[in-house]
Chains A and B, each alone.
Chain A
Amino acid sequence: MPIHDVGYRRLTNEKNSSLFRWLAICRIGVQLALKSKWVKRIMLTAWLPMTYWAAGFFVIEKQLIADQLSIMEGGGSLNQAAMLALTESITNRFSFFLGVDDLQNVFRSGDIPEIRNTIWRWMLMSFFRYPQAIVILFLVGFIAPSLISQDIRSRAFLLYFSRPISKLEYIFGKICVPSIFITLVTTLPALCLYMIALLMSPDISTFPQTWDIPVRIIIATFGLVIPTSAVALMLSSLTQESRFANFSWFAVWGLGHGAWLTIVLATALQMGLPLWDPEVMRSEVVTNWSAISLYNSLGSLQSYIFGFETFAESWRGIISLFGITAFSMTILYRRVSSPM
Chain B
Amino acid sequence: MTSLISLKQITKSYKSMQALDGIDLEVRAGITGLLGPNGAGKSTLIKLLLGLVQPTSGTASFLGFDVRKQGREIRNRIGYMPEDDCYISGLSGVNAVQFSGCLSGIPKTESLRRAHEILDFCDMKQERYRMVDTYSTGMRQKIKFASAIVHDPEFLILDEPTSGLDPEERETLLKRIRLLASQMGKSVLISTHILPDVQAICDDVVILSQGKVKLYEPLANLNRTTNPSFCIRAIDNIDQLAQALDTDDVEVIKNPDGTLTVASQAPELPEIIWKAAYQTGVNIQSLIPARNSLEEVFLSTVTESPNTEEVN
A residues at B contact (CB < 8 Å):
1-11, 13, 15-18, 21, 24-25, 27-28, 32, 35, 150-151, 153-166, 340
Contacts and interface: CB of A to CB of B under 8 A. Distances in A.
Contacts of B53: 340
15 contacts: A6-B117, A8-B183, A13-B110, A15-B105, A21-B105, A24-B102, A25-B103, A28-B88, A155-B86, A156-B88, A158-B82, A159-B87, A159-B147, A164-B75, A165-B75
B116 A3 contact: yes
Interface string B106-142: 1110100110111111000110100000000000000
A7 B121 contact: yes
Given A4-B116, A8-B149, A13-B106, A156 B121 contact: no
Contacts of B179: 8
A150 B50 contact: no
Given A24-B103, A159-B87, 20 more contacts: A1-B125, A3-B120, A3-B125, A4-B120, A6-B120, A8-B184, A15-B104, A15-B106, A15-B151, A18-B72, A21-B103, A32-B91, A150-B88, A156-B86, A158-B80, A158-B86, A159-B86, A159-B88, A159-B147, A164-B73
Interface in B166-190: 179-180, 183-184
Contacts, number: 123
A154 B82 CA distance: 12
Nearest to B104: A163
Main secondary structure of the interface of B (DSSP, over half): helix
Nearest to A2: B120
B76 interface: yes
Nearest to A167: B52
Q: What are the 9 closest A-B residue pairs judged by CB atoms, nearest first? A: A15-B105, A11-B152, A24-B102, A162-B80, A155-B86, A163-B103, A2-B120, A5-B120, A158-B82
A18 B151 contact: no
A5 B118 CA distance: 8
A193 B236 CA distance: 100
Name the residue among B73, B88, B106, B152 with the largest chain A CB count within 10 angstroms: B88
Contact of A160 (B103, B118, B121): B103
Given A150-B89, A158-B82, A158-B84, A164 B125 contact: no
Name the residue among A5, A27, A159, A166 with the largest chain B CB count within 10 angstroms: A159
Interface in B63-79: 72-73, 75-76, 78
Given A150-B89, A158-B86, A159-B88, A16 B107 contact: yes
A157 B86 CA distance: 8
Nearest to A337: B52
B248 interface: no
B100 A159 contact: yes
Contacts of A155: 82, 84-86
B87 A162 contact: no
A15 B50 CA distance: 20
B184 A16 contact: no
Contacts of B102: 24, 27-28
Contacts of A28: 88, 91, 95, 99, 102
Nearest to B107: A16
A13 B107 contact: yes
Contact of A166 (B72, B91, B95, B113): B72
Nearest to B114: A11
A4 B117 contact: yes
Name the residue among B53, B73, B114, B120 with the largest chain A CB count within 10 angstroms: B120
Contacts of B183: 8
Nearest to B80: A162
Contacts of B126: 1
A153 B87 CA distance: 9
A99 to B, nearest CB: 43
B47 interface: yes
A2 B116 CA distance: 9
A2 B114 CA distance: 13
B90 interface: yes
Name the residue among B102, B114, B128 with the largest chain A CB count within 10 angstroms: B102
A13 B106 CA distance: 8
Contacts of B125: 1-3
Contacts of A159: 82, 86-88, 100, 103, 147
Contacts of A6: 117, 120
Contacts of A163: 75, 100, 103-104
A3 B129 CA distance: 12
A154 B179 CA distance: 31
Contact of A164 (B89, B105, B107, B114): B105
B47 to A, nearest CB: 7
A16 B108 CA distance: 10
A261 B171 CA distance: 67
